[in-house]
Each structure stands twice: as C-alpha cells, then as structure tokens.
Amino acid sequence: MRVLRIAAQVEAVSLALLLANLLTVHTEAVASLGGPVHGTAYLIVILTVRQASPEPAARSRAWIPGVGGLLALRQLRRPRP
C-alpha cells in the first residue's frame, strides 16, 4: 500500500505540473521531465492495484489518469462487508 500511496501522489502532482506548464509558459524541459515521471507513476499505480486487489471497482478506478490512483487507494481502504 505504501508504493501505491506514493505512486498515486506522484501521478497526481506530476499531472498538475504538466497541465500548469501547458497553460502558462510551456517550458519544454518541464514537459520532457514531467511526462515520463507521470507515465511511470501511472503504470505503477495500475500494476500495484492489480496485484493488491481483486476488486473490479478498484481496478477500474486505477485506469483514470491523474486521480485514479487516489480513487483506487480510497476504494481499497474502505471496510469490506
């Protein structure tokens, strides 16, 4: 769960930075660094959720770019009936 928590936060922050860069100065260095960081964090989130849970709800939420990791983490923390 720790890996998922870190990857979800990195994914969300990197997407926010990429969008802020796109809407403001559009510095190519930020895009070249932020893009791979965001993509890697996104893949780590998807793979970690896939290994951590058989729940279809958590797995499908992980596929949402940017906030999917946070949503999946929230789903996994819910108590199961």
pLDDT along the chain (81 residues), means of 10: 95 96 95 96 96 91 94 89 69
CA dist 41 and 75 (Å) reads: 19
Predicted local distance difference test score (pLDDT) of residue 1 = 87
Predicted local distance difference test score (pLDDT) of residue 80 = 74
Predicted local distance difference test score (pLDDT) of residue 74 = 93
Predicted local distance difference test score (pLDDT) of residue 53 = 86
Predicted local distance difference test score (pLDDT) of residue 78 = 85
DSSP string, 20-69: HHHHTT--HHHHHHHHHHHHHHHHHHHHHHHHH---HHHHHHHTSTTTHH
